[in-house]
């Protein structure tokens, strides 16, 4: 045991540390690459020493004077040290190996907290906890100190984080490229039941996980014009004369694999003004203007756009997209490949995966690099480019498909616009030839749309410029082929494929649900952590009463943990023994939080009107978590109404002990890790054909919640795997939705013909939940009765019937537990390791 009381600060000469120092007094080793640097074997004593050194010499404080933040930073930097040798080794191995790398291009990474994940990956959890205990510190307090980097909106950003975790765990060479937003997704608070957005200053207390490399800055050009000229060989060429530029500074983060000594890199770009940029203005004597210019440049990576469905066509957003893409391509071609690399062989060394259309400007950018800078012929360059990209589509909502106005594109990226026009021209000539001048088809397939204004359809550009296009669940990929890109899938049937999403079992089972992990590992060993299909071995345990009892105890313990957290965090007092019914996801009309609200109000109305006795109901606690885009009016009204309903119900003695509603603010990855393991029921109730996949649905099933859901996204595959008996299906399927839409959907007819629905809506409209003010619920109610674009009323009765089946099933708690175990046992397919294998085999050929 290290006596920390005697010698409070660590000696810098400590013999227990043996990290090599490279400096003037030491010969530089051949290079650290080949395993020359080894992290010292971790022991509690060494860990204490490292930690204290970080505290004393890194933070410059004595343990006795240190704040929790000092301690957190020192701990993070200590853990980081243990990954360093593996990181350097992995980098060297990649450079020497000459293998193909995956360049994951994503405008978002919703990483969640890093400390716990790093401790898990390095297997240092116990040692670190013991070491800190010796210093009189509870590691839990330090874990809680970390502000999660919320550099994403929701599903798409979290998927990127799961994917890079899996690639590291599978030792696949991958560089994640993205944007280091200074402000991530806003922090949500509630005032008078309404959402208020607070800036997310996640960097304010320092960020120990990133490594800035200002010396590796990349210049990015914007604006200006193009110029035609004839080159030395007499070829007609175009050159870009940019109007202004900014610098991209890379910040590197480690992406550790699970206990496999692989550490990949996530490279996020931060924008900075170039010197030329402000020198000019400085020299003209206008100091203030120069500083303003700096702000202008640095705005590019200032903030994550919090909309995730309706692109606003904002100039700054296009700047962000081009900024990170240009930096990333430059970084790979100039700094990652060997100096003399022949770019004709580029597809052997890189495949850029386009996470939705946000990075699609990379396609004309690579063309520009090859043609304008490297002097390639157009056709050669195009052949190379198409092999280097693959595109994943993450949506089905037509309004979410990105388009950029030609005017804006021409102003910001004139050369890229030219390149896009030429790609389009060549492509349409090909189509005209194949379809004998079918004018309508040519117009439909053009990258440029003419209405409502001339604009560039990024999904079309992505499809034409990629070797593969995939959707994110079977149903979604089929709808993508049939509805979103039918002309393209007809033209290139083999280009289209599906890769069903997945989630990382490390974070969402092992870390988030330690108790379940221990129980499972006792039963089937720990191989599941990197081979989740092994969950299948749990199936027989569903019939073991002893196992069921332990499983139920785990669930109960997770609920207690959640309720304690919600009590401390939000002052919420929740009953300990009710069914926990959870709906967490972004607030969107298509996801239908409105339908969930109708269910809650119906249940409440049933009780207070005396139609249903409290003795006969299955007690439920409803939990919502959802952020609304700040400009999405109806979504914000829905939040207001959920909070109002929660307030009323929680205060109503008539439903005490049988109903409670909680809406903890600021749902994020950190809260998800506590909420999901506690849930009994997972709400996945989008209108069929709208949710591309969903990934929360997978996390819940893997943690032993049963799903009530529509036939949508990956719900379809979850149900197929767990079986109809272990899934509560309701609502129209996608063809039925289409049929009803074609017939003409009239929400009012459902209101008129369904008595319970009418009572529910009337109660909402009455002002009962809004302090008597009818106006406050009016928009929500009117929207449902007159528009109901996502057909909540059409699915209402079916949903309530399914909820009745849920109640029935829950009454037999042992049978319920059995179903829950089967959900866990049968959903191992949804590991992001499996998704990555699919990409590797069907898309990347790495
Ligand atoms: C779109 C936009 C539009 C412009 C403004 C900023 C912005 C930011 C993000 C997005 C992406 C929306 C698409 C998305 O998040 N899709 C979700 O992807 C998940 C992972 O594949 C999937 O599980 C969800 O079903 C799908 O909605």
Q: Which helix (H) or strand (E) holds 178?
A: strand 174-179
188 pairs with which residues across the strands?
197
Question: Does the Cβ of 156 fall within 6 Å of ligand 1?
Answer: yes
Average pLDDT over residues 524-531: 98
Reported confidence tier of residue 286, pLDDT bands at 50, 70, 90: confident
Q: Answer yes or no: is the C-beta of 356 below 6 A from any ligand 1 atom.
A: yes
Does residue 110 surpass a pLDDT of 70?
A: yes
Ligand 1: nearest atom to the Cα of 155? 19
Please report, for residues 149, 155, 185, 266, 696, the alpha-carbon distance to residue 145 in angstroms, rounded to integers and kept in the order given.
13, 25, 18, 23, 25
Cα 683 to middle of ligand 1, angstroms: 19
434 Cα: distance to centroid of ligand 1 (angstroms): 34
Whether 306 is in the pocket of ligand 1, judged by its Cβ within 6 Å, is no
- Which pLDDT does position 15 carry in this prediction? 34
Tens of pLDDT, residues 325-375: 999 999 999 999 999 999 999 999 999 999 999 999 999 999 999 999 999
> For residue 816, what are the contacts with CB-CB under 8 A and spacing of at least 6?
680, 706, 809, 810
Report pLDDT for 308. Answer: 78
Mean pLDDT for the stretch of residues 108-133? 98
- The rounded percent of the chain whose pLDDT value lies above 70 is 94
756-777 pLDDT tens trace: 999 999 999 999 999 999 999 9
Taking the domain 150-220+247-276+301-403+457-501+838-844, which CATH number applies? Answer: 3.40.50.2000
Is pLDDT above 70 for 462?
A: yes
Residue 28 in this model has a pLDDT that exceeds 50: no
Q: pLDDT value at position 27?
A: 38
Q: Tell me which of 12-16, 315-319, 651-655 is least confident.
A: 12-16
Higher-confidence position of 70 and 286: 70
List, for residues 704-735, the tens digit of each pLDDT value. Answer: 999 999 999 999 999 999 999 999 999 999 99
Q: Is 479 in the pocket of ligand 1 (CB under 6 A)?
A: no
pLDDT score of 279: 63
Predicted confidence at residue 522, as pLDDT, reads: 98
| Cα 357 to averaged position of ligand 1 atoms, centre (Å) | 10
Q: Give, using CA atoms, the residue closest to atom 16 of ligand 1.
A: 394
In this prediction, residue 369 carries a pLDDT of 98
The Cα 410–Cα 453 span in angstroms is: 14
Nearest atom in ligand 1 to the alpha carbon of residue 691 is 25
DSSP structural state of residue 503: B
Q: Left (φ > 0), alpha (ψ -120 to 50) or beta: where does 301 sit?
A: alpha
For a mutational test of ligand 1's pocket, the pick from 108, 309, 698, i.e. the residue with the most ligand atoms closer than 8 A to its C-beta, is 309
User: Ligand 1 centroid vs 629 CA: distance in angstroms?
Assistant: 13
Q: Does residue 659 have its Cβ closer than 6 Å to ligand 1? A: no
Judged against a pLDDT cut of 70, whether residue 3 lies above it is answered with no
Q: Which two tokens stand for residue 440?
A: 């309508």
Ligand 1 proximity of 471 Cβ (cutoff 6 Å):
no
Q: What is the pLDDT of residues 233-248, one digit of tens each?
A: 999 999 999 999 999 9
To test ligand 1's pocket by mutation, which of 308, 630, 836 has the most ligand atoms within 8 angstroms of CB?
A: 308
Say what percent of the chain tops pLDDT 90.
90
How would you label 516-548 residue by residue, b for 16+ Cβ within 10 Å and e otherwise? bbebbeebbeeebbbebebbebbeebbeeeebb
The residue among 32 and 523 whose pLDDT is bigger is 523
**Are the C-beta atoms of residues 818 and 723 closer than 8 Å to each other?**
no
Report long-range pairs for 372-378 (Cβ below 8 Å, ≥24 apart).
Answer: 372/237, 372/238, 372/239, 372/240, 372/415, 374/343, 375/231, 376/343, 378/422
Query: Beta-strand (E) ranges in 73-140?
Result: 101-105, 109-110
Helix, strand or coil for residue 228? strand
pLDDT at 332: 98
pLDDT reported for residue 761 = 98
405 forms beta bridges with 455
pLDDT band of 44, cuts 50, 70, 90 = very high
Per-residue CA distances from 460 to 187, 318, 454, 488 (Å):
34, 17, 14, 8
Instruction: Give the DSSP letter string of 551-588.
Output: HHHHHHHHHHHHHHHHHHHH-----SSSEEEEEES---
Q: Which residues, 6 or more positions from 393, have their beta carbon under 8 angstroms from its beta carbon? A: 356, 357, 459, 462, 469, 470, 471, 472, 476, 480, 484, 692
**Ligand 1 contacts CB of residue 795 (under 6 A):** no
In angstroms, the CA 77 to CA 59 distance is 10
Q: Is the CB of 271 under 6 A from ligand 1?
A: no
Question: pLDDT of 381-420, one tens digit each?
Answer: 999 999 999 999 999 998 889 999 999 999 999 999 999 9
- Residue-level pLDDT at 293: 76
Q: Which of 224-228, 282-286, 407-411, 833-837 has the lowest mean pLDDT?
A: 282-286
Residue 52 has pLDDT above 90, yes or no: yes
Catalytic residue set: 394, 585-586, 591, 695, 699
What topology is assigned to 505-830 in CATH? Rossmann fold (3.40.50)
Give the nearest ligand 1 atom to 311 CA. 4
Q: How far is the CA of 157 from the centre of ligand 1 (A)?
A: 8
Q: To the nearest 10°, the Cα dihedral for 557, 559, 565, 567? A: -120
Residue 140 DSSP SS3: helix
The CB of 326 under 6 Å from ligand 1? The reply is no
**Among 104, 105, 109, 156, residue to substitute to test ligand 1 (most atoms within 8 Å of Cβ):** 156
843 CB contacts (<8 Å, ≥6 apart)?
Answer: 351, 353, 390, 467, 468, 470, 497, 499
Specify the ligand 1 atom closest to the Cα of 476: 25
The finding on whether 308 has its CB within 6 A of some atom of ligand 1 is yes
Ligand 1 centroid to Cα of residue 528, in Å, is: 29
- Confidence (pLDDT) at 40: 65
For ligand 1, atom 7, name the residue with the nearest CA.
Answer: 308
Put the strands of the sheet holding 455-457 in their side by side order. Answer: 403-405, 455-457, 448-449
Are 134 and 52 contacting, i.e. CB atoms less than 8 angstroms apart? no
- Report whether residue 307 contacts ligand 1, using a CB cutoff of 6 Å: yes
Query: Residue 307 has what DSSP assignment?
Result: -
Query: Residue 66 and residue 47: Cα distance in Å, rounded?
Result: 18
Whether pLDDT at 47 is above 70: yes
Torsion of CA 749, 753, 756, 760, to 10 degrees: 30
Q: What value does the mean pLDDT take over residues 263-286?
A: 82
Rounded mean pLDDT, 103-126? 98
**C-alpha torsion 347→178→506→679, nearest 10:** -130
What's residue 651's pLDDT?
A: 97
- Diameter of the chain by CA atoms? 89
- Burial label for 515, CB within 10 Å (0-12, 13-18, 19+), is middle
Asked if the domains at 150-220+247-276+301-403+457-501+838-844 and 505-830 fall in one CATH topology, the answer is yes
Give the alpha-carbon dihedral of 137, 138, 139, 142, to 10 degrees: -80
**Token pair in block for residue 368:** 């520009």
- Is 394:353 a contact under the CB 8 Å cutoff? no
End-to-end Cα separation, the chain, in angstroms: 48
CB 195, CB 628: distance < 8 Å = yes
Model pTM greater than 0.75?
yes
369 secondary structure, DSSP code: I
Our answer on whether the CB atom of 400 is closer than 6 Å to any ligand 1 atom is yes
Residue 711 CB less than 6 A away from ligand 1: no
Per-domain residue ranges of the chain: 4-97+118-145, 150-220+247-276+301-403+457-501+838-844, 505-830
Assess contact for 559 and 566: CB atoms under 8 A: no
pLDDT grade, residue 291 (50/70/90)? confident
Distances (CA, A) of 820 to 514, 551, 679: 17, 9, 11
Among protein residues, the one with the nearest Cα to ligand 1's atom 15 is: 156
What spacing in Å lies between the alpha carbon of 684 and ligand 1's midpoint? Answer: 16
Angle, helices 125-134 vs 115-122, to 10°: value is: 110
Give the pLDDT of residue 644: 98
CA atoms within 13 A on the CB side of 661: 25
Of 450, 445, 532, residue with least CA distance to 830? 532
Of the pLDDT bands very low, low, confident and very high (cuts 50, 70, 90), residue 552 is very high
Tokens of 784: 């449902």
Pocket of ligand 1 contains residue 691 by CB under 6 Å: yes
Which class for 175: exposed (0-12), middle (13-18), buried (19 or more C-beta within 10 A)? buried
* 449 touches 403 (CB < 8 A): yes
Please compute the mean of the pLDDT values over residues 498-522 and round it to a whole number.
Answer: 98
Q: Distance from the CA of 467 to the center of ligand 1, in angstroms?
A: 22
Backbone angles phi, psi at 259, to 5 degrees: 50, 40
Task: Indicate whether residue 712 lines ligand 1 (CB < 6 A).
Answer: no
pLDDT tens per residue across span 172-192: 999 999 999 999 999 999 999
Average pLDDT over all residues of the chain: 94
Q: Of the residues 394, 484, 626, which should be mutated to test ligand 1's pocket, given the most ligand atoms within 8 Å of the CB?
A: 394
pLDDT of residue 426: 98
Length of the chain: 846
Substitution site in 631, 692, 830 for ligand 1 pocket (most atoms within 8 Å of beta carbon): 692
Model pLDDT, residue 21: 29
Q: How far is the CA of 307 from the centre of ligand 1 (A)?
A: 9
In this predicted structure, what is the pLDDT of residue 295?
A: 86
Ligand 1 centroid distance, CA of 398 (Å): 12
């Amino acid at each position: 045991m290290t006596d920390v009381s005697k010698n409070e600060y660590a000696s810098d000469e400590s013999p227990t540390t043996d990290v090599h120092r490279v400096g003037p007094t030491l010969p530089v080793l051949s290079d650290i690459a080949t395993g020359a640097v080894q992290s010292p074997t971790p022991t509690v004593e060494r860990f204490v020493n490292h930690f204290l050194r970080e505290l004393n010499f890194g933070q410059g404080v004595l343990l006795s004077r240190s704040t929790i933040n000092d301690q957190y930073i020192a701990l993070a930097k200590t853990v980081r040290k243990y990954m360093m040798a593996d990181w350097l080794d992995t980098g060297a191995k990649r450079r020497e190996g000459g293998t193909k790398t995956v360049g994951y291009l994503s405008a978002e990474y919703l990483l969640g907290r890093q400390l716990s994940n790093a401790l898990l990956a390095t297997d240092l959890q116990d040692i670190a906890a013991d070491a800190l205990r010796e210093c009189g510190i509870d590691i839990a307090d330090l874990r809680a100190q970390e502000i999660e980097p919320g550099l994403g909106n929701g599903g798409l950003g979290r998927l990127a984080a799961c994917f890079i975790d899996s690639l590291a765990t599978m030792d696949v060479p991958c560089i994640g490229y993205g944007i280091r937003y200074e402000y991530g997704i806003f922090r949500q608070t509630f005032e008078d039941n309404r959402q208020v957005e607070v800036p997310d200053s996640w960097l304010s207390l320092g960020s120990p996980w990133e490594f800035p490399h200002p010396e590796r800055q990349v210049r990015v050009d914007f604006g200006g014009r193009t110029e035609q000229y004839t080159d030395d060989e007499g070829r007609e060429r175009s050159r870009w004369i940019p109007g202004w530029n900014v610098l991209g500074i890379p910040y590197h983060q480690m992406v550790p694999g699970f206990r496999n000594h692989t550490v990949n890199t996530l490279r996020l770009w931060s924008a900075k003004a170039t010197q030329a940029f402000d020198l000019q203005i400085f020299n003209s004597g206008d100091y203030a203007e120069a500083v303003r210019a700096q702000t202008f440049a640095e705005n590019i990576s200032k903030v994550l756009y919090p909309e995730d469905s309706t692109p606003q066509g904002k100039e700054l957003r296009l700047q962000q997209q081009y900024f990170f893409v240009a930096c990333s391509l430059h970084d790979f071609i100039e700094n990652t490949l060997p100096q003399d690399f022949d770019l004709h062989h580029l597809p052997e060394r890189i495949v850029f995966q386009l996470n939705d259309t946000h990075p699609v400007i990379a396609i004309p950018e690579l063309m520009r690099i090859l043609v304008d800078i490297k002097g390639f012929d157009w056709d050669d360059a195009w052949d190379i480019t198409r092999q280097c990209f693959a595109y994943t589509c993450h949506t089905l909502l037509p309004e979410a498909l990105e388009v950029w106005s030609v005017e804006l594109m021409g102003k910001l990226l004139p050369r890229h616009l030219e390149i896009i026009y030429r790609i389009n021209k060549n492509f349409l000539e090909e189509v005209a030839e194949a379809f004998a001048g079918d004018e309508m088809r040519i117009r439909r397939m053009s990258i440029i749309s003419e209405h409502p204004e001339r604009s560039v359809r990024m999904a079309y550009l992505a499809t034409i410029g990629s070797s593969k296009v995939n959707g994110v669940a079977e149903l979604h990929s089929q709808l993508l082929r049939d509805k979103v890109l039918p002309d393209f899938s007809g033209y290139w049937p083999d280009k289209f494929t599906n890769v069903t999403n997945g989630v990382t079992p490390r974070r969402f089972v092992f870390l988030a649900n330690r108790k379940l992990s221990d129980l499972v590992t006792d039963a089937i060993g720990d191989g599941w952590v990197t081979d989740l299909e092994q969950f299948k071995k749990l199936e027989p345990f569903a019939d073991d009463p002893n196992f069921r009892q332990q499983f139920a105890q785990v669930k109960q313990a997770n609920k207690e943990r959640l309720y304690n957290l919600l009590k401390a965090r939000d002052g919420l007092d929740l009953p300990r023994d009710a069914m926990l019914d959870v709906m967490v996801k972004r607030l969107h009309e298509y996801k239908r939080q409105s339908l969930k609200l109708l269910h809650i109000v119906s249940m409440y109305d049933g009780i207070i009107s005396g139609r249903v006795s409290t003795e006969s109901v299955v007690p439920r606690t409803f939990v919502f978590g959802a952020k609304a885009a700040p400009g999405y009016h109806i979504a914000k009204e829905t939040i207001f109404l959920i909070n109002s309903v929660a307030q009323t119900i929680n205060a109503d003695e008539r439903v005490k002990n049988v109903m409670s509603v909680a809406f903890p603010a600021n749902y994020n990855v950190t809260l998800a890790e506590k909420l999901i393991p506690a849930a009994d029921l997972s709400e996945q109730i989008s209108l069929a054909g709208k949710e591309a996949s969903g990934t929360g649905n997978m996390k819940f099933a893997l943690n032993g919640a049963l799903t009530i859901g529509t036939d949508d996204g990956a719900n379809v595959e979850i149900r197929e795997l767990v079986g109809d008996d272990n899934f509560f299906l309701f609502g129209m399927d996608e063809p039925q939705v289409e049929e009803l839409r074609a017939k003409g959907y009239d929400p009012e007819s459902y209101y008129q013909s369904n008595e319970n629905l009418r009572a529910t809506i009337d109660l909402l409209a009455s002002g009962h939940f809004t302090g008597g003010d009818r106006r406050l619920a009016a928009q929500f109610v009117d929207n449902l009765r007159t528009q109901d674009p996502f057909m909540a009323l059409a699915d209402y009765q079916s949903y309530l019937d399914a909820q009745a089946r849920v109640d029935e099933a829950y009454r037999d708690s042992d049978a319920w537990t059995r179903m829950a175990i089967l959900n866990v046992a049968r959903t191992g397919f949804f590991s992001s390791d499996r998704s990555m294998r699919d990409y590797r085999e069907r898309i990347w050929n790495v």
